[in-house]
Each structure stands twice: as C-alpha cells, then as structure tokens.
Amino acid sequence: MVAIGELAAVARDAGSAEAVLFRTEAYDLCRRLADRRHEPAAPPVATAALAALASWRPLRPEDVHLLADALGDRDDDVRDAAAAVLRSLGADAAPDLARAAGFGRRAARDRALALLRELPVTTAILDRLVAAELDALDAAALRGAALASLSDPWIVRRLGERLDEIGHTSLLLIAAREKSAAVATGARLFRLARGKDERARALEALDAALPRAVAIRILPALEGSLESRARAAAERLRGEPPRKEVAVRAELAGGDTLLRGLLVRALGAERARYRTAIADAARAAAAEVSPLDLLRRITEPDDDVGDVPAAVEKMVLLSSLPLLGELTTPQIAALAERAQVVDLADGEVLHAEGERLDALVIVAAGELAVGERTLGAGHAVDELAPMAPRPLPAAIVARAPTRIVRVARVDFEELVDDEPGLAAALLRHLGERLRA
C-alpha cells in the first residue's frame, strides 16, 4: 500500500517531458484501483489509491463523482479515505456532496450530509455554487429541447431526470445559503414526489419557502414538460436551443454515461453521421475500464453489439416488466448492470421441476416453456421470484435457441437495500397490484 503512495508522489513531482506519460499512467492506475463500483480492488488497495488521488490537483470532475460515490462503499476504511479527500477539497466538493446526499446510495447519503455541514463554505462561495448550478440547469434544459427532437421516450425521460437532479442540488445549496430548513424540506419533497399531484405540492412548498427572486429563477426550470422548461431557459437567457447536431455531439462527449448510451441507441440510422463522436466516446469509456473488467466484457456473452451498449438493451428489456416500469432510468441501469445474459440451446433445461426459482428471468429472444405456458421475448417467468422464491411447478425449457436476462436474488436484494427509492417504487407497484 505504501508503494501506491510513493508511486503517486514520484509521478506528481516528476518534471521532465518524458515523465508526462508516466504521470498520466500513474494517475489512471490510482483512479482504477480507487473505483470499486465494477471490479473492486481489495479495500486496503482502494484506500491507498484514494489517499494517493488526494495528492493530485486539480482533480477531474468525474474523479470527484467517484469520491462521492465511494462514501457509500461497504468498507469503513474506503469510506473514511474518500471522506478525507473530499474534506480536503473544501467548497469545491459541495455540489457533488449535495448530489450524493440526494441521489447516492443509502450509506453515502448520511455521510455526504455530514461532510456538507463540516465544510468551511462561506456565503460568497455558496452564491458562486448556486449560480453555477442554475446556469447548468438552463444549459441542460436548452440542450434537452434539441435532443427531444429525436422523439425517443428514453432520452426524454433521462433528460427530465437530469434536470430534476441538477434542480435538487441547486435547492440544497440554496437551503444552505439561506440557512432555511423549509427550503431543505421542500427539496426533499421534490426529490420524493411521484406523479403530478405530489410534484405540484412540492413546488408549492418551495414557492412559499424560497426568496421571491430565487423562486422566479428556479421554479420554471422544475415544472412542466421538457419543452416548457427549455422555453423558460431560452426566455431567461434570450437565446435559442442549440442545433440537434451540436447537442448530440456535446452529450456524446459529456459525462452522463447513461444518457450517452441511450443516445447512441436512439440515433439509429443517423449513427453514421456521428461516427467520429461515437468513437471518441467509446475510447473515453474504454480508458476508464480496468483490465479485469475489459477481460470480462470480452469473454462474457453480453458484449455490446455494434455501437449500442448491451446494458442499454438490458435496460429496455427490464423496464418492459410492469414490476419495474416505474423505476427511474438510474435505477433500471443499476439493475441492468447486475443482470446476466445467458444463451440456451433448443431443448435446454434452465431449471428443473421443483427447483426453487429465486431470480428474475426474462426472455430477450427466443422462447421458453414452463409447463403449458409459453413465454416469448419481453416476458418474465415470475416477476416476484427474487422477492418471494418458490418451487417451480414445471421445468423451464428453451423451445428454440433462446437468450435470457437474469437478475439473481442476492443482486436484487443488494440493490433494493442500496439504491435510493428502489424499494419504495417496488412497494408502490405491489400495493397497487393488491388493490386491483
């Protein structure tokens, strides 16, 4: 572990031209070891890598996101190391801590809020942070209006969610600046609102709690359709949304990997026009992948097909189930990340009669038979299996070459425990089903 810190020190202090490549490689190595979200390094290794990252300045925005996510790690030492680095960043960490407090996993939220209270953030700094978030909100709304012309429901859905995320971060920073518990409560109601009525009540609470000038500035960006939010931003900035081509290229080069994957899928036949931008985005994504993760992607059957990430196709399939249809795009993406793709030969038995089914199994292509039932693409064997496993009344057999997507119970339960809002969304669906 000491070697990681020494490597970082040598790379940081090296001044020759020949050391530039070494410095870059050392930084990327520390970053990969610190990121336990995909192929986790051992906790002591990740802890040392996080400490080493603290010696670099300035950190890239995506690295600050990584640190905020690490506040939700399962290991105490990793969480403490991430908190120490964020604490050293001071006020610059505030926006990412605010996002983690609102949308991070359960373990991250409390720690992010505690760190926010510790930071020596002056009113002048908060003014600057609030202004930057509100500008980002307007820019996202204008770019979203341009991308909405793709007429893809997933794109529109994700763009709306991103506006809400930026808006919630803005509200938390405003609550800190104004020292207003009422604004903080309104921000929480806004984040948890489901449906038009709940959202309207949250916006009414915010309208009453926010200073008038601030309410006029932020509320139009939080209500209505994507188009109405973009119109409000255009009127405020006295500008127009960018051309679709400009917006597409900006998002392909941007940091929202979820939207980037959805965008590549939505472009369809237009993909050839953006080949260079897509290739650049793919290279940037590949640079973030650890060697172990790259090996897994090469050897597992759910490789990306063409330009469209396989995870995006799994998201679309998962969201077609009534149980998961109301989940947010990040929640669906978290499930898709854990989902496995399995190919079955014609006649192959997936599970025998009487075997306990404790996973969500969905047909992606082909056909499964369960006794007299025949399941085609988009259908699940048993939606409730990961929550309430039971013995199968008949064997599950492929009736043709078939591809399935499978989410194991342990992965499902971990996500329900960690992913904010996932348990509540599932409970709402099950409650509505019981009342029907």
Residue 78 sits in the same domain as residue 142: no
Give the integer Cα–Cα distance in Å for 177 and 420.
Answer: 26
Cβ count near 49 (within 10 Å):
25
Predicted local confidence at residue 16, as pLDDT: 47
Tell me if 326 sits within 8 A of 427, measured CB to CB: no
Query: In this structure, what token pair is assigned to residue 47?
Result: 């802890």
Give the integer Cα–Cα distance in Å for 434 and 436.
Answer: 6
Provide the domain limits for residue 361.
Answer: 311-435
Tell me if 356 sits within 8 A of 390, measured CB to CB: yes
Residue 230 placed within a domain: yes
Residue 425 placed within a domain: yes
Tell me if 393 sits within 8 A of 353, measured CB to CB: yes
Residue 431 sits in the same domain as residue 329: yes
Number of domains composing the chain: 3
Predicted local confidence at residue 2, as pLDDT: 46
| pLDDT tens for the 436 residues of the chain, in order | 544 454 445 444 545 444 555 566 777 777 778 887 666 778 888 888 888 877 776 777 778 888 888 888 878 888 888 888 888 888 888 888 887 877 666 667 778 877 877 877 788 888 888 898 899 899 999 988 889 888 889 999 999 999 998 999 899 889 988 889 899 899 989 988 888 899 999 999 999 999 999 999 899 989 888 888 888 888 888 878 888 888 888 888 877 888 888 888 888 878 788 777 777 766 665 555 444 444 444 344 444 444 445 778 888 889 888 888 888 898 898 899 889 999 999 999 999 999 999 999 999 999 999 998 999 999 999 999 998 999 999 999 999 999 999 999 999 988 888 777 788 888 888 888 878 7
Residue 326 sits in the same domain as residue 429: yes
SS3 337: helix
Cβ count near 79 (within 10 Å):
20
Of 211, 227, 242, at which residue does a domain stop? 242
Residue 118 placed within a domain: no
CA 94 and chain centroid, separation? 19
Residue 116 placed within a domain: no
Tell me if 30 sits within 8 A of 53, measured CB to CB: yes
Query: In this structure, what token pair is assigned to residue 308?
Result: 């469209």
Q: Which residues contact 178 (CB under 8 A, 6 or more apart)?
A: 211
> What one-character DSSP code corresponds to residue 273?
G
Residue 350 sits in the same domain as residue 418: yes
Q: What sign does the dihedral 315-320-322-327 (CA atoms) show?
A: positive
Residue 181 sits in the same domain as residue 227: yes
Of 242, 258, 287, at which residue does a domain stop? 242
Residue 135's identity, in one-letter code, is D
Give the integer Cα–Cα distance in Å for 184 and 410.
Answer: 35
Query: In this structure, what token pair is assigned to residue 188?
Result: 């929480």
Tell me if 419 sits within 8 A of 105, measured CB to CB: yes
Residue 352 placed within a domain: yes
Residue 107 placed within a domain: no
